[in-house]
């Protein structure tokens, strides 16, 4: 049982009233696909954009604020996360489609739901989102990509709220997309993502989405407790276009274990919680894989999974 923290009542007293949901000493493990991790001092699920903006404007600047999405590409350390963790829920899960083919999606919309909405509207070019787990906010933040597409290919704009509670709008040029990277300010919580796609044939779109789903199921451990691709594909010249999984496999890491964590046999750029893993097990195994690849190939792998919080079994 994780220890409860004595500073929580005083922290709660410093936070404004909200219309959404606030929970103290919130267990974050069920909110991460690895199903590991510690407690958040405070978990806040805002009712809508205004609730979030008002909260940020009135929250003292010395209280850390961290946002999480669906937890699909996230490793929450065992010591938990200090301050306030914001998770965007139902109030950020709407989709609106305009007559000119622009889709406005709340940052909490799941990527697969966006792909389905585009298909239903007869818009093509968004099929690749069927193969990306997580929410649109996280996908935009990291320029997520798979199966030949990236967010930058479909991005039309975004809206967010900064730490002072001010609304911010971003154009494609301001997004500053690069491989698994964007230029959105770190203190901005994205609340709405706008994307576009040209008209297409619904049957062809559906067929492509089915292909992507089948390919993902055949090549990735989709039924396991995992966090998606662990490391980004290296960009340095000596990597010569090699994928992260190829480097991991060549270094003899497929199937390696640390405690309850394992490098997937099916796709070795995925770490798996076999049932008893801690976040420390998963991070230790990931760091060992990085060191083996460096020793074997002289190439440094960089974490694609976002790691949050403090180490240690007790908060």
Tell me which residues are annotated as active site. 180, 229, 304
Whose CA is closest to 248, among 225, 260, 262, 231?
231
Spell out the SS3 assignment of 88-138.
Answer: CCHHHCCEEECCCCEEEEECCCEHHHHHHHHHHCCECCCHHHHHCCCEHHH
Q: Which token pair is 62?
A: 């010395």
Between CA 296 and CA 300, with CA 297 as vertex, the angle to 5 degrees is 110
> Which has the closest alpha carbon to 54: 20, 93, 27, 102?
20
DSSP the chain: -PPPPTTHHHHHHTSPP-SSEEEEEEE-GGGSTT----EEEEEEE-SSHHHHHHHHHHS-TTS-EEEE-SSTTEEE-TT-EEEEEEE--GGG--EEE-TTSEEEEETTSBHHHHHHHHHHTTB-S-GGGGG--SBHHHHHHTT-EETTEEGGGTEEEEEEE-TTS-EEEE-HHHH--BTTB----TT-EEEEEEEE--B--HHHHHHHHHHHHHHHHHHS-TTSEE-S--BPPP-SGGGTT--HHHHHHHTT-TT-EETTEEE-SS-TT-EEE-SS--HHHHHHHHHHHHHHHHHHHS----B-SEEES--SS--
């Amino acid at each position: 049982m994780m220890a409860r923290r004595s500073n929580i009542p005083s922290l709660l007293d410093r936070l404004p009233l909200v219309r959404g949901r606030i929970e103290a000493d919130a267990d974050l493990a069920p909110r991460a696909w690895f199903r590991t991790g510690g407690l958040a001092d405070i978990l806040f699920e805002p009712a809508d954009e205004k609730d979030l903006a008002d909260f940020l404007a009135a929250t003292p600047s010395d209280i850390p604020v961290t946002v999480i999405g669906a937890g699909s590409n996230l490793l929450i350390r065992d010591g938990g996360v200090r301050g306030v963790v914001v998770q965007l829920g139902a109030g950020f899960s709407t989709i609106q489609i305009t007559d000119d083919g622009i889709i406005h999606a709340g940052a909490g919309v799941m990527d697969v739901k966006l792909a389905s909405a585009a298909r239903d509207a007869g818009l093509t070019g968004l099929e690749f989102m069927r193969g990306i787990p997580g929410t649109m906010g996280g996908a935009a933040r990291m320029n997520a990509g798979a199966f030949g597409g990236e967010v930058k290919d479909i991005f039309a704009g975004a809206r967010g709220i900064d730490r002072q509670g001010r609304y911010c709008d971003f154009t494609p040029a301001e997004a500053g997309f690069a491989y698994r990277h964007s230029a959105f300010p770190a203190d901005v919580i994205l609340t709405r993502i706008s994307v576009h796609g040209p008209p297409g044939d619904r049957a062809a779109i559906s067929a492509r989405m089915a292909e992507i789903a089948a390919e993902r199921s055949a090549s990735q451990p989709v039924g396991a407790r995992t966090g998606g691709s662990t490391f980004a594909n290296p960009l340095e010249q000596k990597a010569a276009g090699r994928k992260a999984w190829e480097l991991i496999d060549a270094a003899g890491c497929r199937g390696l274990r640390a405690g309850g964590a394992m490098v997937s046999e099916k796709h070795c750029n995925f770490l798996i919680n076999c049932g008893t893993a801690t976040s420390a097990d998963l991070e230790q195994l990931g760091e060992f894989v990085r060191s083996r690849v460096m020793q074997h190939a002289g190439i440094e792998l960089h974490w694609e999974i976002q790691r949050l919080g403090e180490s240690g079994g007790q908060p």
